[in-house]
A and B are shown apart, each in its own frame.
Chain A
């Protein structure tokens, strides 16, 4: 059996009850239509809304911007849009995840449609308002996951400080920045003395504990602007932006002292740990960031040669 429906009441019903905000305004910004969704979330009944100015009813609306937007629909007879990503909401409505949401109010995507009369003129603008709170929550969860993933890919698993890849990228950036804008930069490379003996005599778990504790002490010693990373094995490095060689040597000396004086325990037994360090400052004849690492490595080697537990500043050979 087929049934002939009069479509006008049906359309009225759909517009009225659909779970999308629908309202219509005229050139004077008076409300002409206000559907059930808008009633529910705004608390304003259609009977009270129709015939009143939308800005009188909702003084918190961003008037200057919204008037311009709606005006562009009248003048251009053009669609217009707002997205929650740039403008979280048009109307401050509650949303349906008050418990699990973590956002303050309903996120909305709005579409402004020009309503043409028979002559083709636009006398009304119809606004549809979609609740995209869920989408916004999922997107911020995804962004958060990506951010944590990106951070994890920059970090050393054992010590939690930055890894070699991140160190080299940062050093390269810092190097380019100094070359472009001037200023200076120093670099410290350091190595735990006789680390192999710790591993051989006390086992790898003891070695891991030494690396973890050393990294912790280093990160407490450096300044906020410095970047600390594990360069590999028992080697660590510090990038010191805007720091002259003298300052870098002072910090290197502090690192050396703090490690020497620290009590690093494994199985309640103290493990004496010292480090050797090489320090270098970026000079005009350094052509690439890799050379800084190389220069610091040469100075580090001299510290080792001279009996370890020492800081050596790199001196270019004439």
Chain B
């Protein structure tokens, strides 16, 4: 399936929406975590399915093994969010999220899910509030644990050919924590987003 790329205006508008969302997300994360969260300027691009693994590797870098959590969002916008972080990052967040020092395996997984949920929700709520759309979320689940970056997604098992990829990087000031957030929306979902962006531009 071929897709119509975003026009320059649509891309600019989306970038602006994301920038606003990032500001709100940084603010609310700081209140939750009592720590200053730095967020990168979001990047928007269309990826083909065959290059998705390469794209993720480029974003995350060829670091040690990573852990990835996925979460679906649906309603006016539809897609999946993937949060990728390395092991040091996970530990750093434990005390910030109200967990005890000695994490067993289950507590560590729960922490990962909690943090991912907070990161995803912070951004997407910002987006939906700005666009005036409504959104629901599925429970997050762990899609890969301590595995090489290349193993997060197997392109052979995917049904889409093109997806819109929104990429944001998070880091915590004075701590090692870094994580990468990917929002992927495939094919028809791109049209819904395009429509939401167009409506937003018209309304201002």
* Pair A65/B28 contact, Cβ less than 8 Å: no
Q: Is B118 interfacial (CB 8 A cutoff)? A: yes
In the complex formed, the residue of A with least CB distance to B135 is: A79
Complexed CA–CA distance, A64 and B110 (Å): 15
* Pair B113/A75 contact, Cβ less than 8 Å: no
* Pair B106/A87 contact, Cβ less than 8 Å: yes
Contacts A69-B114, A82-B110, A85-B106 given: A76-B97 contact, CB under 8 Å? Answer: no
Contacts A68-B98, A69-B114 given: A76-B109 contact, CB under 8 Å? Answer: no
Q: Which residues in A have their C-beta under 8 angstroms from that of B28? A: 75-76
Complexed CA–CA distance, A84 and B141 (Å): 12
Contact with A along B86-118 (1 / 0, CB 8 A): 000000000001110000001101100110011
Contacts A65-B99, A86-B109 given: A76-B136 contact, CB under 8 Å? Answer: no
Interface of A: prevailing SS:
mixed
Q: Which residues in B have their C-beta under 8 angstroms from that of A77? A: 125
- B143-189 contacts to A, CB under 8 A, are none
Q: Is A26 interfacial (CB 8 A cutoff)? A: no
Complexed CA–CA distance, A76 and B30 (Å): 10
Q: Which residues in B have their C-beta under 8 angstroms from that of A72? A: 32, 118
Q: Which residues in B have their C-beta under 8 angstroms from that of A86? A: 106-107, 109-110, 113
Q: A residues touching B (Cβ–Cβ < 8 Å)?
A: 64-65, 68-69, 71-72, 75-83, 85-87, 109, 111, 120
Q: B residues touching A (Cβ–Cβ < 8 Å)?
A: 28-29, 31-32, 97-99, 106-107, 109-110, 113-114, 117-118, 121-122, 125, 129, 136-137, 139-141
Complexed CA–CA distance, A85 and B140 (Å): 12
Which of the residues B99, B109, B110, B117 comes within 8 Å of A79, measured between beta carbons?
B117
Q: Taking the nearest CB of chain A, how far is it from the CB of B145, in angstroms?
A: 13
* Pair B125/A78 contact, Cβ less than 8 Å: yes
- A-B pair number, CB within 8 angstroms: 54
* Pair B114/A78 contact, Cβ less than 8 Å: no
* Pair B32/A75 contact, Cβ less than 8 Å: yes
B98, B109, B129, B140: which has the most chain A beta carbons within 10 Å? B98
Q: Which residues in A have their C-beta under 8 angstroms from that of B129? A: 120
Which of the residues A65, A79, A87, A109 comes within 8 Å of B137, measured between beta carbons?
A79
Complexed CA–CA distance, A79 and B114 (Å): 10
13 pairs, A vs B, C-beta closer than 8 Å: A75-B32, A76-B28, A76-B121, A76-B122, A77-B125, A78-B125, A79-B136, A79-B137, A80-B121, A81-B113, A83-B110, A86-B110, A87-B106
Q: Which residues in B have their C-beta under 8 angstroms from that of A79? A: 117, 121, 136-137
Closest 4 CB pairs of A and B: A78-B121, A86-B110, A81-B139, A68-B98
Q: Taking the nearest CB of chain B, how far is it from the CB of A38, in angstroms?
A: 20
* Pair A83/B98 contact, Cβ less than 8 Å: no
Q: Which residues in B have their C-beta under 8 angstroms from that of A82? A: 110
Q: Which residues in A have their C-beta under 8 angstroms from that of B139? A: 81, 83, 109, 111
Q: Which residues in A have their C-beta under 8 angstroms from that of B141? A: 83
A77, A79, A81: which has the most chain B beta carbons within 10 Å? A79
* Pair B117/A78 contact, Cβ less than 8 Å: yes
* Pair A65/B98 contact, Cβ less than 8 Å: yes
Which of the residues B29, B32, B98, B140 comes within 8 Å of A81, measured between beta carbons?
B140
* Pair B121/A83 contact, Cβ less than 8 Å: no
* Pair A68/B106 contact, Cβ less than 8 Å: no
In the complex formed, the residue of A with least CB distance to B33 is: A72
In the complex formed, the residue of B with least CB distance to A66 is: B98
Q: Taking the nearest CB of chain B, how far is it from the CB of A239, in angstroms?
A: 26
* Pair A80/B107 contact, Cβ less than 8 Å: no
Q: Which residues in A have their C-beta under 8 angstroms from that of B113? A: 81, 83, 86
Complexed CA–CA distance, A83 and B122 (Å): 20
Complexed CA–CA distance, A237 and B110 (Å): 43
Q: Which residues in B have their C-beta under 8 angstroms from that of A83? A: 110, 113, 139, 141
Q: Which residues in A have their C-beta under 8 angstroms from that of B125? A: 76-78
Which of the residues A68, A87, A111, A120 comes within 8 Å of B97, measured between beta carbons?
A68
